[in-house]
Amino acid sequence: MQTRTLGRSGLEVSALGLGCMGLSFGYGPATEKQQAVALIRSAFDQGVTFFDTAEAYGPFTNEELLGEALAPMRDQVVIATKFGFLDGDAQKGLDSRPERIRSVADASLRRLRTDRIDLFYQHRVDPNVPIEDVAGTVADLIREGKVKHFGLSEAGPQSIRRAHAIQPVTALQSEYSLWWREPEAEILPTLEELGIGFVPFSPLGKGFLTGAISEQTTFDATDFRNIVPRFSQEARKANQALVDLLGGIATSHHATPAQIALAWLLARKPWIVPIPGTTKLHRLKENLGAAAIVLGGQDLADIEAAVARIPVQGARYPEHLQKRVDR
């Protein structure tokens, strides 16, 4: 596995990380613990050194899972976690008050069984707390040695600039993939200017770009995708054209649609590090195989031209969650 550096921070991680949320939260029942531990350790064995979690995933159980799974190799990996929700519960709304950030840091350190958080993200920008106060609090935690790097998630350009002026931002984590390209307009130029790395979550379109989901697919009652407009049956039917396109390109590269989608992201910028998630060992191996696929200029031009002809149907979030995305 090749490595990449997130922006100008010097934080070196594997070219692909592992998004761990789905092992505990968001996509149906939690994975059995020992199975989840085995998957995380298999990722490490295959070269992954960058693992993403948050107190809100569970809540709390995902951090505990990573703490157990990564304890034997703690000094060889980079662990990212997040603060920003009231009581750690995404259903309760936002809370990035300085005292809350401090309490989350201490609790996360205990759950992760570690003495430092490598990358500490604000999960969503809190309109009730000046971003300067958030950045200043994380700067204090960095000085105390509890945190190594500061990150933001789903933050807009102005928030990124204001935070970065107080405490350099190492990475922004936001959704980015072949079926959600909004970051290209303002976010990517801002990050390039400031020397900030980009960590795309949902790089496989919450599973849709793998080709494993069709209009007939049904999701568990607790699966977040049930409320996502882009996953309505009508939208899935319309969006199948994008997956079919990826399938054709993948065939020519002896690859899978998921691998092409990830390789496309890796080709965008050298400081982009996608974090696909999975609960299945064979999907993990498939995803990590994308790091070995090199798309040339003509490949990228062909993908660009083809994707431009396929408008993706459906909003990426229901309205109440879209309101949490900073502008």
Nearest to 227 by CA among 88, 320, 94, 153: 320
The values of phi and psi at residue 219, to 5°, are: -110, 155
DSSP state of 169: E
Token reading at 235 = 């939208």
Count of residues in the chain? 327
For residues 253-284, one letter each, b for 16 or more C-beta atoms within 10 angstroms of the residue's C-beta and e for the rest, the string is eebbbbbbbbbbbbbbeebbbbbbbbbeeebb
Number of Cβ within 10 Å of residue 252's Cβ equals 10
State the angle between helix axes of 297-308 and 257-268 in degrees (0 to 180), rounded to the nearest 10.
Answer: 110
Instruction: Answer yes or no: 57 catalytic.
Output: yes
Alpha helices in the chain (DSSP H): 33-45, 61-70, 98-111, 131-143, 157-166, 187-194, 233-252, 257-268, 281-288, 297-308, 319-322
Strand partners, 119: 80, 149
CA 129 to chain centre: 24
Q: Which of 57, 121, 176, 317 is catalytic?
A: 57
Q: How far is CA 5 from CA 9, 50, 287, 296, 309, in A?
A: 7, 11, 20, 22, 34
Q: How far apart are the first and last CA of the chain?
A: 35
Active-site residues: which are they? 57
